[in-house]
Amino acid sequence: MTSPEPFGARLRRAMDERGPLCVGIDPRPALLAEWGLGDDVGGLERFAGTVVEALADRVAAVKPQSAFFERFGSRGIAVLERAVADARSAGALVVMDVKRGDIGSTMAAYAGAYLDKGAPLFSDAVTLSPYLGYGSLRPALDLARANGAGVFVLALTSNPEGAEVQRAVTAGGASVAQAVLDRLAAENAGATPLGSFGAVVGATLAEAGADLDINGPLLAPGLGAQGAAASDLPRVFGGAVRNVLPAVSRGLLRHGPTAAALRAAAAREAEETARFTGS
């Protein structure tokens, strides 16, 4: 039986062919209102469908924020399932932003929800939180590897509260963030052209203060509305900048609701990020 192509290889190809850009699908109430849509399932469906139709055939990845769909219950999840399937059919990689983190059978169940090929919400990658211990993520890491999927583990987030945990020093002398990055580097050892086990590192950081050379992708939220610009990426990511997948949401989505305006905005963002990442 042929093994599936690893996520890292698929992501590298998508970034090289389509440009290094990940577009968030974040149907916030305020954004729905800006688009003239109701804060209801109908508005959610129109919003998600428009973003996918406009962009999934041209950007490297889309990143649905699950919480904004979950708040509508089963009908919201149905919209999310359809958005995931349609985006993948159009050629975009789907990074499901759920930030799950638990232990044992519960972690295995979360992994099955997003990383099992037979699951309705099967995605190309998922975001995970390692703060019950990196080892608690093992069910998700193993299932991702088996199914050619990937993970992005929270390492150095840009929210101020994150520093009290991520910058804390472990018994071995490294920061918690560096310990997570080192474990990811071990997961990716020997992978070519890129490992499938990535880290979330905020583009808004003044400096990383850590070794980001993990031979894997670096999901970098914060461009646009959160204050970071593509020109900040080389400063934050240094020699690892070519493996950065910059994520933009509100700064791009505010150009909706027309598909043409979204496409034009995405083209500008992709061109700008490519200038500074070398992808």
Residues 55-82 pLDDT 10s: 999 999 999 999 999 999 999 999 999 9
Domain boundaries, the chain: 7-204+217-225+242-274
Q: Which CATH class is domain 7-204+217-225+242-274?
A: alpha beta
For tokens 């924020």, name the residue.
65
* CA distance linking residue 36 with residue 54, whole number of Å: 18
**pLDDT reported for residue 1:** 64
Q: At residue 263, does pLDDT exceed 90?
A: yes
Residues known to be catalytic: 99
How much of the chain is helix, strand and coil, in % rounded to 5?
Answer: 50, 15, 35
pLDDT at 210: 92
Query: How many angstroms separate the Cα of 147 from the Cα of each of 65, 101, 129?
Result: 22, 19, 20
pLDDT tens, position by position, 166-175: 999 998 899 9
Q: What is the mean pLDDT of residues 214-218?
A: 98
